[in-house]
Amino acid sequence: MRAKTQMLNEQIRLLMNDFTGQAVNLHGQLGTQPVCHAASQEVLRRVASQPIPADGRSLQVVYSEMLQDIYSNISFAQHPRSFSCVPSTMSLLSWMGDVMTSAYNPHASCQMNAPAADLVEKKLIRWMCDQAGYPESGGGLFVSGGSIANLTALTAARDAKLSAEDRSRAIVYVSDQTHSSVAKGLHIIGFTSEQIHLIPTDRAFCMDSSLLRSSIIHDIALGKKPFAVIASAGTTNTGSVDPLPEIAALCREYDLWMHVDGAFGASALLSEHYRDKLAGIECSDSMSWDAHKWMMQTYGCSVVLVRDQSSLARSFAAHPEYLKDAEASAESIEFWDLGPELTRPARSLKLWLSLQVLGSKEFGEVIEHGCAMAELAEGLLRNAAGWEIISPAQLGILNFRYVANGSLSSSELDHINQDLARKITESGFAQIFTTQLRGKKVLRMCTINPETTAQDICETIGHLKAFATVHVDWNALGQLQASHKRR
Ligand SMILES: *Cc1c(COP(=O)(O)O)cnc(C)c1O
């Protein structure tokens, strides 16, 4: 085996040298490329017909195939004009950290396996707890994403607030804008849809705290056991932030766990300018915060934070006999005691590399830039006839709709706006998706990529306007033809 490995290693060295150059170049020139490279039918057929071979193939060949067929044919969420979903803000520093981490492959489950990596994770968790305003008792861990962060926190909430008998009458509150991962997580940990009460949002898409209060009172009167409220700090649709201080006060009054889903928006804590928007988050019991969204990290980098670390240990500490030798002491709490994973990659190291090299101030500037780009787009559309702002720029997210001259029905406008999203995305210039707000299909832009320029925004809005104009002409043409036919 070993002789073969040595031969392979030499090839790996050469190919990786080549790859590093390619990857850095690609990242630097993304803006000159189409956002989305859809794989052709031919490529998909090629991949589909490739079996798992009994005898291995040439590394050079497989490497080239994978570069060409797999890696090249993706939607580049890190493209400066990718405005759909939550785009990636990845820095090459994070990629470099990923490469270093996977090369050394530390088992980041406990102190003994990788003491300094363990310390880095603890330091970052403490630093993030400080940003959130959590006390010394706070803690948490790195997980793969906001969905798992939510799941982990919700498990702690359940075990902190409910006895086994209480579980069947338990109620948890979310808003109509809460991310779908929350309901998914609640289902995984045993709650039915009927136990998840949806609180309507107000005109600004924020949870209506007076309706929350009346629901809690109503449910208690029915003999139910309210136990948690999921507030959002930066909803995925509009970037709205729920009234955290009011929700915190209700949670205190009724002894409920307050979880803040800040997967997208918690990064705003890093900006002097925007952190006030999250005031009240310091009163929560737990929160989710994705570093792979607005902290320039490649995927698989998120944290769950709790006000009291023992609440995670209560739910997740296991102490099996085969891990006794790796425990620092009988009482020690290791990362494997704080969440569902045992074996886990050292997800914090790439963030450490990025923060050490760029400094925390730069992260704040990235937030401010993202917000400014959405505000710029909003300004361009407010001054244009035929466009309506549905939700103003909030934490780098803008929702708007083409409404033409106001004479078209809502379903016609739904159709047109869907088509505008499709057209700009198919053009390859920018990627924009629609979302549904108050029953209307609207265009949504999330402009958080630090590489996005004002020119990118102006040209994107310009393209949308041009597509919309063509639409109206078609429409006029269609009506003309229809009236001709009638005659
Ligand atoms: C993205 C997002 C999630 C899910 O996070 P993943 O990292 O995609 O698992 C949860 N909540 C909010 C508000 C989000 O924006």
- Residue type present at position 69: D
As a whole number of angstroms, the longest Cα–Cα distance in the chain is 90
Any atom of ligand 1 within 6 Å of the Cβ of 354: no
User: Ligand 1 centre and the CA of 50: distance in Å?
Assistant: 34
Closest to 128 in 3D by CA, of 297, 324, 306, 365: 306
Q: Measured in angstroms, how far is the CA atom of residue 233 from the centroid of ligand 1?
A: 11
Please work out whether the CB of residue 215 comes within 6 Å of at least one atom of ligand 1: no
Report the residue among 147, 267, 301, 444 best suited for mutation to probe ligand 1: largest number of ligand atoms under 8 A from its CB.
147
Q: Is the pLDDT of residue 340 over 50?
A: yes
Mean pLDDT across 153-169: 98
Where does the pLDDT of residue 480 fall: very low under 50, low under 70, confident under 90, or very high at 90 and above? low
Has residue 372 got a pLDDT over 70? yes
Distance 292 CA to ligand 1 centre (A): 10
DSSP letters for 360-380: HHHHHHHHHHHHHHHHHHHHH
Instruction: Please give the share of the chain, as a percent, with pLDDT higher than 70.
Output: 97
- Ligand 1 contact via 88 beta carbon (within 6 Å): no
CA of 441 to the centre of ligand 1 (A): 21
pLDDT band at 321 (very low <50, low <70, confident <90, very high): confident
Q: Residue 374's Cα: distance from chain center in Å?
A: 17
Ligand 1 centroid to residue 144 C-alpha, Å: 11
Say how many Å lie between the CA of residue 268 and the centre of ligand 1: 15
- Taking each continuous run of H as one helix and of E as one strand, the counts in the chain are 15, 11
86 lines ligand 1 (CB under 6 A): yes
* Residue that wins the pLDDT comparison between 391 and 3: 391
Give the per-residue pLDDT at 332: 82
Residue-level pLDDT at 186: 98
Cβ–ligand 1 distance for 265 under 6 Å, the answer no
Predicted local confidence at residue 475, as pLDDT = 55
Query: What confidence category does residue 487 fall into, taking pLDDT thresholds of 50, 70 and 90?
Result: very low
452 close to ligand 1 (CB < 6 Angstrom)? no
Tens-digit pLDDT profile for residues 427-460: 999 999 999 999 999 999 999 999 999 999 999 9
Q: Which residue has the CA at smallest separation from atom 3 of ligand 1? A: 146
Q: Are strands 225-232 and 170-175 parallel, antiparallel or unpaired?
A: parallel
Task: Give the model confidence (pLDDT) of 23-34 as tens digits.
Answer: 999 999 999 999
Ligand 1 touching residue 267 (CB < 6 A): no
Closest approach atom of ligand 1 to CA 148? 9
CB of 264 closer than 6 angstroms to any ligand 1 atom: yes
Angle at 384 between CA 465 and CA 479, to 5 degrees: 60
Question: Is the pLDDT reported for residue 482 higher than 70?
Answer: no
pLDDT tens digits, one per residue of 170-189: 999 999 999 999 999 999 99
Residue % of the chain over a pLDDT of 90: 91
pLDDT for res 473:
60
Encode pLDDT of 395-429 as tens digits. 999 999 999 999 999 999 999 999 999 999 999 99
Measured distance CA(51)–CA(410) in Å, rounded: 50
Average pLDDT, the chain: 95
Across 246-273, average pLDDT? 98
Nearest ligand 1 atom to the CA of 264 is 15
Q: Which of 260, 288, 295 has most ligand 1 atoms within 8 Å of CB, for mutation?
A: 288
Q: Is the pLDDT of residue 41 over 90?
A: yes
Whether 282 lines ligand 1, by a CB cut-off of 6 Å, is no
Nearest CA residue ID for atom 12, ligand 1: 263
Ligand 1 centre from 238 Cα, in Å?
Answer: 13
Q: Does residue 145's CB lie within 6 angstroms of at least one atom of ligand 1?
A: yes
Higher pLDDT, 325 or 9: 9
Phi, psi of 444 (to 5 degrees): -130, 130
> Which ligand 1 atom is at minimum distance from the Cα of 235?
13
CB of 153 within 6 A of ligand 1: the answer is no
Q: Supply 93's token pair.
A: 């520093």
CA–CA gap between residue 406 and residue 404 (Å, rounded): 6
User: Going by CA atoms, what residue is nearest to atom 6 of ligand 1?
Assistant: 146
Confidence of residue 4 (pLDDT cuts 50, 70, 90): confident
- The whole-number average pLDDT for the span 283-291 is 98
Say how many Å lie between the CA of residue 253 and the centre of ligand 1: 29
Question: Do residues 39 and 391 lie in contact, with contact meaning Cβ atoms separated by under 8 Å?
Answer: no
- 335 near 109, Cβ under 8 Å? yes
Q: Binning pLDDT at 50, 70 and 90, where does residue 237 land?
A: very high
Beta-carbon contacts of 223 under 8 Å, excluding residues fewer than 6 positions away, are: 169
What tens digit of pLDDT does each residue of 298-313 get?
Answer: 999 999 999 999 999 9
pLDDT of residue 3: 87
In the predicted model, what is the mean pLDDT of residues 100-104? 98
The amino acid present at 236, given as its one-letter code, is T
Binding site membership of 181 for ligand 1 (Cβ less than 6 Å)? yes
Supply the pLDDT for residue 474: 57
Give this prediction's pTM: 0.95
Mean of pLDDT values over 216-228:
98
Q: What average pLDDT does the segment 73-90 reach?
A: 97
Ligand 1 site, residue 449, Cβ cutoff 6 A: no
**Ligand 1 centroid to 235 CA: how many Å?**
9
Q: Is 242 in the pocket of ligand 1 (CB under 6 A)?
A: no
